[in-house]
Structures are given as C-alpha cells and as structure tokens.
Structure 1
C-alpha cells in the first residue's frame, strides 16, 4: 500500500488548517514562493522516486533473501515493533551522516533550504537521496526484517515527521524526552550556531540523547531557519544540484588528485586548502541574514499558484499509477514534470525569460497529453482535449494581460 499517496489529502488539509492558524494568531509562517518551491521539490522527489526507489528495494530484498542471519515473521507483532524502532535507529545515522559528509549533505541539504518553517517544508524532499540512502538500512535486512515490514515502517516513519514541521505547537512536556516534536525539530532546521547539526531522530529523540546530539530549543535564542549558504533561488532543479555543483567546482580546481577524490567524503564544509585560498566563500553573519524574496504582483502570484495546482494533481496521479508504467513513460513524465516546475521557478524569480518559457510550457502540454494517451497513461477523450484547450486559452489570455518582468528583482 502506498501510504504517502493516501496521506496527500491529509497533508493538504493540515496545511490549510495551519494557514488558518496563522490568520487566527496574526502571524505569517508561509510565503507563496517559498511554499511552492518546497512543494515543487516534493513533487520532483516523488516523481523521480518512481524511477529510483527500485534500487533500494532490490538491494534490500537481495540482502534479506541471501544474507539474512535470521528469519523474522511478518505475522508477529514484536517484529513490527522491533522494525519500527530499528528503522528509526538506522534513520538517525543516515540523517546524521547526511549532515556530516559532503556528498550526503549535497542530497539532504534540499530539505533545509527553506527559510520558512511550516508544514510545506516537510514535503521538501531530495531527489538524489537514493544514491547512498539504501546503505544505511541494510542492517535491517541482515537481521531478517521482511521487505513488506521494512517498507511499511519506513512510510510510517516518514509520515510521522510531517506534523513536527510547524511553529504553532509549543513544547510538549514529557513527550519531548522520548519523541521528536515540533520544538526539537525546529532546532534541527536552524542555522543558529548553538542549534546546528542537532536532533537527527525521525520519531525518537532518544538516539540524540544517547549519542550527544540533542539540543533543546532555548527561549532566549529564537530559531533562524535555513542554511548558511543560502539557495537564493526558487528553482527546484537548482535546489537539488546546488551543492553537487559546488563540490564539483572545488574538485576541478584542486591541484591534488587526492583532494579531488576525498572532498566528496570529507566532513561537510571541508575544502582543499589551495581552493579555499583562491576561491574564498564569504558567509554572512547571522545578524545580517535576510530571507530571499523576489517581489511579484498579486496577479503574478495568483497565476503561478493556479498553474502549480496542475502539477500537484499530476504528481499525485503519477504516484498512484506510476509503478505500473513502462520506463519510457516514467522518463517522459518526469521530464515533463521537471521542465514545468523549472519554468514556474523562473516565473517566481521574475526573470525576463519567464514569459517565453511559460509560453513554451503551455505549448508543450499538447504533445505531452498526446504522448500520455499513446502510452495508455491517460484514457483521454474529447472532454479531456476540450478541457486542455480551454485551460491553454485562458492561460495565454492571462499571459497577455500580466505585466512582463523587465529584470530579475533583487532579493530583499
């Protein structure tokens, strides 16, 4: 069962309730561009996951079948409880090393780039975590946890983490000592020096207390969210590539071949001495931090929000049917999704090319729908073509009337 798919309506409902809580309390924890950027990263992650999650499942199943030291039964309750706790232990080390090693941080940093903290941040997930993430869960296979149990507890662990991405829930007393809560997970998303690289658990905070990585949220140290090297972009593709590109550039510039190799696996932030000297990175002090923002008119915001709804629907549809589709269908669907979300990111950055890329995106929807029909992904009739035609016409009319950006706005 795809638990994440069935949870999507509840995610949307809870985000709506959090927006109402914002209004009721007179605060603002959401910004449209930041939220769309987070959700875009999430849609990309689930779409690309249809292509990549087989790697982890195949390796896990192979290890379980051929190298398992014991044979555990999925019919036993204690096996499920054991697997649930053991998964979180493995997740802790996956998560911790994701902060402590360059190449792992390149994948995980996507989740931390948002400079806001709300339920949409929970859905901001990497598209490249599959490269190394599967390694950390092989101990579960070796100890005989069946693949069905593994997949289920993994989904439950991920679903639990959704609700802790909020600023509206205060400290929860004794609960804070055992479980991950909104308070101690806010700490995890902070860029304050006192908070950085703390509270790695997914469900249980016990691992952090045991391995000395716990930090309580302090009343006299308000959390500032984000990363010390800001993304400064609403492009979900660049969000996934930014740190890889930075590592690649440093590796190419390094004179030592040993440095070119080890930079990927050194502690996060390590750079070859010669590269650091020639190409210093100037990081702003926390007191100088301002959130990345590109001004847009109300009409521009409404347009991009309505267009983004299409990709949320398409992403959910692919999540429901994608596992039964041929590889070529998934590749084309992923390409269509990635290009569309990239264009919306360009639009949110108010770049001069945005209107032309948006026109191209709308034009490509027609052949994309035809290809989906030919592949059997969509049973399309006259009604579907009529709806697409009407949607495209209305979008073009809106484009004509919207103000054209003359240049990219400066972050404020």
Structure 2
C-alpha cells in the first residue's frame, strides 16, 4: 500500500466540520486527492466531546451517565467500520468516480459555491433515502441495526456504525455523479456523516428535516423513549453486534414457504411476516412499560479500569494507522481487530477471554519491540511495556487456571 499524503485540518476547522460550518472557500478542491480525510481526523474531537459529556453528566447527576461496556462497544464498532477503507478507497467514492468518468451529462465547476451547495443538498437527500430504505428493507436493516443496538443514547452511540453498511449506501448518491465533481462529493459525504455525531431523532434526514416533511415520514418525538432494538442482542462482543442479524435473516429466508414469501423476507421490512403489511404491524412492537432495563452485567471496577486503559492505548495505535497508511497497515489492522474482539470478550466475560487476551498482550509486546507501534507519548513507552508484560503474565496464569479447572470437570 502506497503512502497517502494527508492534508491536516486546523483546530478551528476540526470543530466547525462537526457542525457543517465549513465554508465553500475552505472546503473546495480540484481533485479527490486534495480532499482532507475529515472523518479520520475527527477522532480527537469525538473523544474530546465525549469526555466533556461524561464530565458534565457526572456534575449534573453525581455519577457517570455512560456505561464503559456500552461506550467501548460503540467506539469499537465505529473503529471497525473504518478499517476497510485502509485497504481500498471507499465504495461510495469509487462507484461515484466510475459514474462520473463514464456517464456524466454535465460538468459543474468544482470551485463554484453553487456546486458546493447543490452537493450539500444532494448528499443529504441521498442519505435520507438510504436511511429510509435501511429501515424499510430487511436486507439493508441487517447492516443498519448495528447503529440502533445500543440501549443508551449519548455521543458515543453515534459512532456505533456497521462495517457492511458502506457496501450498500453508495447506490443512493450516484445521481449526483451525473453532474457534481467527485472532489465536491468527497467533501460533503464526510460532512454529512460528521454532523450526525451530535444529533439523532426518529426521522431519517441527516441534516435537514425538510426531506421527512416533503416525503411524509416526519415523526414528532412524543412517546417515552426507550433506546435499542425491539429484541435486544444482549452482548458487547463486536463480531456478534456487527453480524448477528445475517444468520437470523438467512434462517428466516429458508424457513419461508414459497418464493414470494422468501423474497418478502429480503425486500420487505424487518417486522414483516406473512399476512402483515409491508413494514409489519405496529401492534407487534413490544409495549413500553417504563421498567425496561438495559443489558448491563456486573463486572469488577478493576476489570473496567483494565479494559478502559487497554482501549485507550489501542486508540493511539488506531489513530496512527489512519494517519500513516503504509505497508504495515494490514498487520496493524489485524492487531486492532484482535484487540477489539478480545476486549469485547472480556466485557462479555467469555470463557476463552483469558487466552485471547494473553495472545493479544504478547502481540503488543512484539509490535512494540519491532517498532510497529509508535506511542503518542514516547516517555511512557517503558511503563506501558511493563504494564503489558504484567498483563500477559496475569492472563497466562488465568488461562492455565481455567484450563486446569476445565480438565478437572471433564475427569
């Protein structure tokens, strides 16, 4: 993988890009290669605002308003969703460029404010239709349900994204490619996503509420809010969070009788069953009692602190991976995925969590020793190495102890 030149945004731009306050003059580019990686560079601002939310919530309620297990799972799925773009250009942009190169009917000027604002509106309307179909078509819901799987709502929840959603959303932006240059689209597809970090309603629009009102889907928030899925997944392990719905969809497809019902399972709403309306019957949705309790299994404060520290160390590696895409990207991507999986196993208290975490700690030491991991604060390198070594020894002992106990039970 060739090294990618990164255009860094200023602090002012970093804050304003979260609120769609960038101007056409500072965010118009002649080529796609010149467009900054706004989403990748937003990580420090995401973390900063989440920490601010935690502090303000603590001051207001005399306790944390964010659960560590849910917080880490949301960030983990968000991190996982960006990893495919380290290996290849995003499918949204690749498909867009292909249509632009081969089928465009008009070439609007890339440096025109009119083009910039047209792209702003076009991308937002494209997102509206994608988001709407992601709720109304079961095969698209399989990816989008990841975003709704948290039983809490805070800023970290916005980062809970599906790794597979990007492989279907690209279709909805292709009409713009008939006239709007790819560089302008590459800017607004990022701004639209960033704006959604701090808002969320029952409606489908990304930025402008006019689309819901125009197309008849506007819903005022009047009912008591209970977050999450109608059938909670009750896990914090990212592979399950990301892919649990696909086996369920496959099972429903094979169990459906007749080709018509099989196709309906795929192309109708997630709540559809034979004899019901296309989007399902609202009466089938469980009634809200006010006594719903989020999935929050007990785990020790020491384990919470350990997972949080390890996750913060992983964030440093992840950020370097996004900013420095070299030939080591594949190795570090595998490390990030292993780490997210292992921390999820620890949170879920899986039986084989100790063995996986031991393997991860050994891998960390190897990557540090051979210079593949560069720490944000180099003076802490020795302390971190000691911490990881102690962790590796601890999890090795835990693994041996668990294996011994299993053998005793078998005998």
Q: Flag the 1:103–1:255 CA change in 2: closer, same or farther, 3 A.
A: same
Q: Alpha-carbon deviation of 1:163?
A: 1.8
**Deviation for aligned residue 1:65:** 1.5
* Paired position in structure 1 for 2:265: 263
Rate the CA distance shift 1:69–1:289 in 2: closer, same or farther, 3 A. Answer: same
CA contact (8 A) 1:250 1:272 kept: no
C-alpha deviation, 1:365, in angstroms: 2.7
| 1:395 aligned onto 2:391 | yes
CA distance 1:252–1:363, change in 2 (3 Å): farther
CA, structure 1 residues 263+368, in 2 after alignment: closer, same or farther (shift >3 Å)? farther
Match of 2:119 among 74, 80, 83: 83
Superposition deviation, residue 222 in structure 1:
2.4
**Superposed counterparts of 1:14-25, under 5 Å:** 14-25=49-60
Q: Does 1:302 find its partner at 2:305? A: yes
Assess, with a 3 A threshold, how the Cα gap between structure 1 residues 384 and 252 changes in structure 2: closer, same or farther.
farther
Shift of 1:294: 1.2
1:227 shift after superposition: 0.9
2:44 matches 1:9: yes
Matched, 1:293 2:329: no
Correspondence 1:56-75 to 2 at 5 A: 56-75=92-111
Aligned partner (choices 204, 208, 211) of residue 207 of structure 1: 211
Task: Report the 3-state secondary structure (helix = DSSP H, G, I; strand = E; otherwise coil) of the residue aligned with 2:268.
Answer: coil
Cα distance in 1 for partners of 2:285, 2:347 equals 25
Q: Pick the aligned partner of 1:146 from 162, 181, 189.
A: 181
Match of 2:135 in 1: 99
Aligned to 2:221: 217
- Residues 132 and 15 of structure 1: is their aligned pair in 2 closer, same or farther, counting only changes over 3 Å? same
Q: CA deviation at 1:46?
A: 1.4
Question: What secondary structure does 2:324 align onto?
Answer: helix
Name the CA distance, whole Å, in 2 between partners of 1:145 and 1:370: 48
CA distance in 1, matches of 2:322, 2:126: 26
Cα 1:23–1:383, aligned 2, differ >3 Å: closer, same or farther?
Answer: closer
Contact 2:361–2:389 (8 Å) recurs in 1: no
Q: Superposition pairs for residues 336-355 of structure 1, below 5 Å?
A: 336-355=335-354
Q: Give the 5 Å matches for 1:4-403.
A: 4-26=39-61, 28-51=64-87, 53-142=89-178, 144-164=179-199, 185=200, 187-188=201-202, 199-218=203-222, 221-257=223-259, 259-271=261-273, 285-287=287-289, 289-322=292-325, 325-326=326-327, 329-368=328-367, 373=372, 389-396=385-392, 399=395
Where 2:90 maps in the other structure, the secondary structure is helix
Check conservation: 1:113, 1:227, Cα contact below 8 A.
yes
Q: What's the offset of the Cα at 1:34?
A: 0.5
Q: TM-score, normalised by structure 1?
A: 0.78
Distance 1:51 1:102, change over 3 A: farther
- Per-residue displacement from partner, 1:170-194 (whole Å, max 9, x unpaired)? xxxxxxxxxxxxxxx2x42xxxxxx
Cα displacement (A) at 1:260: 4.2
CA RMSD of aligned residues (A): 3.0
SS at match of 1:286: coil
CA distance in 1, matches of 2:285, 2:113: 50
Distance 2:185 2:160 in 1: 23
More displaced stretch, 207-216 vs 88-97: 207-216
Cα gap change, 1:24 to 1:265, in 2 (>3 Å)? same
Q: Which residues of structure 2 form unaligned runs of 5+?
A: 1-35, 276-283, 407-411
Deviation (angstroms), 1:252: 3.2
Deviations 1:352-385 (A, max 9, x none): 3222221122123345557874xxx869xx9998
Could you say what secondary structure the match of 2:42 adopts?
Answer: helix
TM-score w.r.t. length of structure 2: 0.78
